[in-house]
Each structure stands twice: as structure tokens, then as C-alpha cells.
Amino acid sequence: RKEVEQDPGPFNVPEGATVAFNCTYSNSASQSFFWYRQDCRKEPKLLMSVYSSGNEDGRFTAQLNRASQYISLLIRDSKLSDSATYLCVVNTGPGGATNKLIFGTGTLLAVQP
Amino acid sequence: GAVVSQHPSRVICKSGTSVKIECRSLDFQATTMFWYRQFPKKSLMLMATSNEGSKATYEQGVEKDKFLINHASLTLSTLTVTSAHPEDSSFYICSATGIYNEQFFGPGTRLTVL
């Protein structure tokens, strides 16, 4: 079983749609969680951290369920510029200098005009 | 957010040569930097953790004698791919950790070995 699993997609949605991505992780000792965005042939860029209480940043909402080891990302009112690969990322280290990020394979989102 | 740079952005070399890639944190100090590799349509895979002033920690399956890492200062880590071969062709990305454990990535170096 992969440490971080995501549906690879692609998700093809029209502009303005709401789309949700899911992710599961296997290490129950994981400490912190992130969503990154990666455009084609570019480096990953941090989209948002994911907190236990859930958090929102504009059109983006992230949720974490530690009991189920499940993370989600909701994008409302999709824009063409949201087209990218969304990476679910889990930090399995205890923090500080022993950070170790495990990346999911990513979910490809294509927003259609 | 914090800025991490990498140089060169792209390199093409002949088989058997060595290639050095630099990773710099531009506006913050990074005690720890990380080196990743990403093959086409695959996820990023951690190669090694680079610690300032000490030896790097390599992930299982990564040859430390082939991928030499030097973290000489709090703002610079280098990865040298020694005796590169075509199978080493990949996208190499470094990152540095921010104060909240988030990682900021460099723009990556695309290595092509002929």
C-alpha cells in the first residue's frame, strides 16, 4: 500500500464548478499535512496547510480526518488557472530537522472553458 | 513566501560526466534542505536530507557515492551527480524548510544525459 494515495484523475470540470479531491495516508503518526500545486514541468508550490479543524483560503477548503487518515481539498468556482496537478503531502517526521515529506502521485485537474 | 533558487535550470551532458546543481535559500537560513527527483508522470521522491555542517542522510536505494551532497552554509546545498548516465536523466528539485515545517521548493533542474 502506498503511503499517500490519491485518485490520479484527470478531473475535467467546467469553469465555475466545484471539485473535490481526496487523499488517504497510511502512517497514523503523521504530523502535518499539506496540499501543493504543481504545474506542468514546474516545481510544486504550497497551496495550503491542512489543520485538524479544517481551514479555508478563498475558494479553497481543506479538511483533515485523523481517525480515518483522510485529507480533502475542495475548490469552489473553478477557474481556468486552477488547472494543474494537486499533490497531497504528508509529513511523517516528528518535526524540526527530521521533516520528511511523502508525496502522493497527484490529481490532475483540467478546467474547461 | 520564502524563495529558493536552483542553478542551473537545465543541463545537458554526455554520459560519464559529473554535474553539480546548486540550491540556495535567498531570504532565509535553512539548516535542513532536501533533494528530490521526479521522473515523468511520477511523484517526487526524496533522495536525501541535507544538513548544514554534517553528512547528508540518504534514502534507501539512493547511492551516496553517486549523488554527492554538500551543505556548506545555511543558505547553500549542492548536489553532484557523478558519472552521470542516461538513466539519471530526471527533474531534480531541492527544498528548504520554513519555520512552520512547510517546505519551499526551488524551480528545479532538468538533467538530460546523452
Give the residue numbers in A contacting B (CB under 8 Å), as ranges.
31-32, 34, 41-46, 49, 87, 91, 95-106
* DSSP annotation of B106: -
Shortest CA gap A104–chain B (Å): 6
Single-letter amino acid code for the residue at B15? S
Strands (E), B1-114: 4-7, 10-13, 19-25, 32-38, 45-51, 57-58, 67-73, 76-81, 90-97, 103-105, 109-113
Judge: A32–B101 Cβ closer than 8 Å, yes or no: yes
List, for residues A28-73, the tens digit of each pLDDT value.
888 889 999 999 889 999 899 998 888 999 999 999 999 999 999 9
Mean pLDDT of chain A: 90
Q: What is the share, in percent, of chain B residues with pLDDT greater than 90?
A: 69
Q: Quick one: which of B48, B49, B1, B43 has its CA closest to B25?
A: B1
In DSSP terms, B69 is beta-bridged to B79
Picking from B42, B46, B102, the nearest residue to A100 by CB comes out as B46
Q: What is the pLDDT of residue A94?
A: 58
Query: What would the grid cell of residue A102 be?
Result: 511523502
pLDDT recorded at residue A99: 66
The residue ranking higher by pLDDT, A107 or B2, is A107
Return the closest-CA partner of residue B94 out of B10, B38, B29.
B38
